[in-house]
Amino acid sequence: MRLVKIEENIIWHKCMNCGLLQHNTHIRCLKCRKGDFEIIEASGTCKLLTYTILNAPPAEFRDKASYALGVVEFENGVKGLGQITTQNSLQTGMTLKPIYRKICENLDGKEVYAYVFEPV
Ligand SMILES: [Zn+2]
């Protein structure tokens, strides 16, 4: 396999007991400690919550001098972390759309796919 796919669907968990929405890596609800969840998938566009410009990218991104990394929130409350397709004119609160595409070749030479976010 020459591909690495990161988070092909952005899926969070909603607690069936208290309704807390949280990342799907948690085994128990961070608020009430119960363990039954409804699966909530990101959909539609999202808003930029915060971002930073990485001027010393990790080795996998050796083809780039810098890139923008942002945290976004979808309309249903699911949040995601990913690269933004531009570093220009970024503003918190702006609308972005997710695009699933190749983001780099890792150090083993495999193509890595993940969501990136593009201003609408
Ligand atoms: Zn809960």
Digitized pLDDT (tens) for each residue of the chain, 120 residues in all: 688 888 788 999 999 999 999 999 999 999 999 999 999 999 899 999 999 999 999 999 988 999 999 999 999 999 999 999 999 999 999 999 999 999 999 999 899 999 999 999
Q: Which domains does the chain have, with CATH numbers?
A: 3-9+43-119 (2.40.50)
- The pTM assigned to this predicted structure is 0.88
CB crowding 76-88: b at 16 or more within 10 Å, else e: eebbbebbbeeee
User: For residues 68 and 57, is the Cβ–Cβ distance under 8 A?
Assistant: no
Expressed in angstroms and rounded, the spacing between residue 11 Cα and the centre of ligand 1 is 17
d(CA 77, CA 96): 14
**Listed residues: CB within 5 A of ion ligand 1:** 15, 17-18, 20, 29, 31-32
Expressed in angstroms and rounded, the spacing between residue 27 Cα and the centre of ligand 1 is 11
User: For residues 116 and 84, is the Cβ–Cβ distance under 8 A?
Assistant: yes
Expressed in angstroms and rounded, the spacing between residue 10 Cα and the centre of ligand 1 is 20
Expressed in angstroms and rounded, the spacing between residue 80 Cα and the centre of ligand 1 is 20
Expressed in angstroms and rounded, the spacing between residue 37 Cα and the centre of ligand 1 is 9
Expressed in angstroms and rounded, the spacing between residue 120 Cα and the centre of ligand 1 is 34
User: For residues 81 and 66, is the Cβ–Cβ distance under 8 A?
Assistant: no
